[in-house]
Amino acid sequence: MDRTILFHIFAAVLFLYIFPITCLSKTSTNITTDQYALLALKSSIALPPDHILVNNWIATTPTLVCDWVGVTCGKLHRRVAALDLPNMGLIGTIPPHLGNLSFLVRLNITNNGFYGDLLAELANIRRLQYVDVSLNNFGGPIPHWFGAFPKLVFLNVQNNSFSGSIPQDFGNLQSLKVLIMQFNQFTGCIPPTIFNMSSLEVLAFTGNSLSGNLPANMCSYLPNLKSLYLSVNYLEGQFPPGLQECSKLQVLSLSVNQFTGRIPSKIGNLTMLKQLYLGGNSLEGEIPREFGQLVNLELLALGHAGLTGLIPSLLFNMSSLEEIYLQANNFSGSLPRNICPRPLLRVLDIGRNKLTGNIPSGVGNCTALSTIDLQENNFTGNPI
């Protein structure tokens, strides 16, 4: 035989056999690996004998794994693509084998009793897009490698006992839309890189021990942000002057921190706002007149905030406002006669201020009102 032909045959053999083998050897996982990983997960959970997983997740023909409770396989590749085990009373740890589910896109184990930390092995799951481990007992620091998931869209770790600082690397998550880390024990500053995730729509850090100032330009790179929850932390300094650049904000929650200074009048430019929480800070000055532009505002919470001056009568003309909390400030002067020109108002809490004058006669028009607190003011006239 011709040497060239021999060479071609040799090359073909090399291509058909050796190349795929060397190629596969890098990611030599298959549905059997997936079954092995899930069985490892099962054995790291303390299951009561009557739990649905006990007789459902059992070693079998590997392809049948796709029919197990909580498991969804991809239509084409028939590998485990989603693991949905919410609200199942699962108490245990995450075994390193879970990192072998290399086709996993969604991991949802919310509202169980998982504990321990999130293992480095999970970093191997490069396809992850949705991770919900909220309402468990995980602890320790959030592994910085979360910042290396190129496709992550949704991360919810709320209501665990995670501690340590928020990893800077999160700034690399350019596809991330939802980041919920509230009600944990995070400390330190919010890294400036967090405010650089331009796809972000929801950012929630309420109920941690975060400190420091917010960057003045924090909204410059967050054009899509709809909800910002930073309440109940130790954040300080003035409200960032550039807040109005988060022009799509619907919920702004900065209450119960150590913010100081005046409420920036530019908040009036956030015309999509539905809920504004700024109470429980050490502010000064008045409610800016510009709040009258917040035509979509449904809830205004400014209690315990050190505010002074009159309660602007335009507040009561805002067509959408349903709940007003202005208690425990130093507001003075009297209320407008008709506080319910549009009878949407459900809650009016203006107790513990220095308001004077008559209790507004128009209060009878507030047909939707379910809670009213006028206590500890200097009103004259009959209390209602």
* Residues contributing to the site for ligand NAG (CB under 6 A): 29, 33, 36, 86, 96-97, 99-100, 106, 108, 110, 121, 130, 132, 154, 171, 192-193, 196, 221, 268-269, 290
Q: Choose between 11 and 216: whose C-beta lies nearer to ligand NAG.
A: 216
**What is residue 63's three-state secondary structure?**
helix
Shortest distance in whole angstroms from residue 141 CB to ligand NAG: 20
Contact 82, 105 (CB under 8 A): yes
Q: Coil, strand, or helix at residue 305?
A: coil
**36 or 145, CB closer to ligand NAG?**
36
CA atoms within 13 A on the CB side of 123: 11
Q: How far is the CB of 106 from ligand NAG (least distance, A)?
A: 6
Query: Least separation, in Å, of the C-beta of 286 and ligand NAG?
Result: 15
Contact present, 286 and 307 (Cβ < 8 Å):
yes
CB of 281 to ligand NAG, least distance (A): 23
CA distance 6 to 376: 100
Nearer to ligand NAG, 293 or 338 (CB): 293
**CA contacts within 13 A on the Cβ side of 278:** 25
Query: Do the Cβ atoms of 107 and 132 come closer than 8 Å?
Result: yes
Closer CB to ligand NAG, 213 or 269, in the complex = 269
Q: What is the CA radius of gyration of the chain?
A: 28
- The smaller minimum CB distance to ligand NAG, of residues 239 and 325, is found at 239
Nearer to ligand NAG, 272 or 369 (CB): 272
Minimum distance, C-beta of residue 362 to ligand NAG, in the bound complex (Å)? 28
Looking at residue 50, its amino acid is D
Closest approach, Cβ 31 to ligand NAG, in A, equals 11
**Strand pairing category for 371-373 and 378-380:** unpaired
